[in-house]
Amino acid sequence: MTRSLLVVVFLGTVPVPAAPLPEKIGDLGIPDVSQLPRVDRSKRPGRQESKNSAFILKTEPHRVAGERYVILTDHRSPLFLSSLKRLAKARDGIILKVDDLALLGQDATTLESLRQQLRSARVRFLAVAPRTSSFRENMVLGLWELTSTLDDDPLVDVFPGFLLASTPQRFRALVDRSIQHKPLATSRIKPLAISQVPRAEELRSLQKAAVLRKWFGRSNVATPIVAVYSRRAVEAARLTGPEIWNLQATSQQPFIKSFPRGAQAAFRSASLVVMHGHGVPGMSCGVDIDGLPADLAGKVILSGSCFAASPVHSDFPAVRQAPGGYEVKKRDAFALRAIDNGAAVFFGHMRLSMGFPHLFPVLEALSQGKSVGESYQQLINALITVRGFRSGKFLVAPAVPGRVSRRRLPQNLLLYVVLGDPAVRPFEPIGTGSR
């Protein structure tokens, strides 16, 4: 990844901080990150904190003993495999092949064989490269079954990530971006916050954009904000100020497919995009998949919406309606389109996401200079701990085709995914001082 732009505006040699935000948006205060409670198995969020997603899942580092880069794949095409071989060479790693990653975790003999190979390899980074047809929920859950049983504790013992693109050419481009990437210094990081306002009384996603603006402001890092207002939010409160764009959806265009010039420039120049709001396949946080810029130029994108990383084929029961009242249709995943369009990393959920409380720990770890894989591992391990998942309880029975279910499966909690090379460190440490 070679393109990046300055994150601060310079007047002489003194950085100009972002303009201050109001302390409230509607009835919601705009707290400092340090004021938000950190929750775990013993400390739960209060009622109002839960309602407004105004808490953060507590995460901890979990040591990985190995040092090797391992690629696990079921690709058979020489075009995909040639890119993986090039990545393995660049990372001084090895490639392990299986017949079908969609079945990962379902065969005890295969699982034990993979465990032994990963232990022998002394794996540190595990890059899972599935075919698009095998990228599905039980593949992800099977990965937790595999990697949480490499030693005696119940936690994931590798730094994982998924390498996924729709064509061999786009896959090769993803590998190229990963190999060429160098961590960005604070002076070269430019975030953009995109938040959806679905109703006048539902401002929590907009609040999180303001929270992030305040958080990055500690390091004199300016954070432009794009707020997307649904048709039911015409009378909702708005943020005002420089580099804030309030976009109104309409009945003709319920999701944003284009941005005004200033917001478009902010999106184009951003190195980090953080999104909050509702989502369905093909839409994240009020932005339509066709509204993504054609060249995402190595950006890191974190989405807190539901279905941002929806699979082509699902192991879970179908749902007709997502939170926010949006109809679930068969459309391309926001995550896959972003990677195809040039993003280096995409964090999102395959199904129903918690949003900010689970997104922020990943952003925070990345801001501390940690790798994609370690940041992801810390989140998954915290979720395993909170819900007490253990070996044998990760997988779900494949859904019956055509059957719709309203029941939420507990394994949904573990369906966050990171598309991107787990060894990549997107940023040098940013001095935000969250804790």
Residue range 166-182, pLDDT digits in tens = 999 999 999 999 999 99
pLDDT of residue 3: 38
**Residue 404, pLDDT score:** 58
| Tokens coding 335 | 């995550």
- Phi first, then psi: what are they for 423, rounded to 5°? -85, -10
- Do residues 140 and 394 lie in contact, with contact meaning Cβ atoms separated by under 8 Å? no
Backbone torsions φ then ψ of 116, nearest 5 degrees: -65, -40
Per the listing, tokens 């409230």 go with 24
Task: Please say whether the beta carbons of 122 and 66 come within 8 A.
Answer: yes
Pairing of strands 38-39, 56-57: parallel
Continuous segment of H or E residues that includes residue 174: helix 168-180
Q: What CA–CA distance (Å, rounded) separates 279 from 338?
A: 15
pLDDT for the residue 407: 64
Distance CA 124, CA 345 (A): 19
pLDDT for 316: 93
188 with 8: CB under 8 angstroms? no
pLDDT confidence of residue 403: 60
Of the candidates 335, 158, 190, the residue with the CA atom closest to the CA atom of residue 266: 190
For residue 270, give the nearest of 216, 329, 308 by alpha carbon: 216
The rounded distance, in Å, linking the Cα atoms of 186 and 431 is: 8
CB proximity list for 183: less than 8 A, separation 6 or greater: 369, 425, 426, 427, 428
The separation between the first and the last C-alpha atoms of the chain, rounded to the nearest angstrom, is 30
For residue 353, which amino acid is it? S
Query: What pLDDT is attached to residue 402?
Result: 59
Which positions ≥6 away from 314 have C-beta within 8 Å? Answer: 136, 137, 399
Mean pLDDT, consecutive 10-residue segments, the chain of 435 residues?
Answer: 34 41 85 97 94 97 96 98 99 98 92 97 99 97 97 97 99 98 95 97 97 95 97 94 95 93 96 98 97 96 98 93 93 98 98 98 98 99 97 84 68 98 97 61
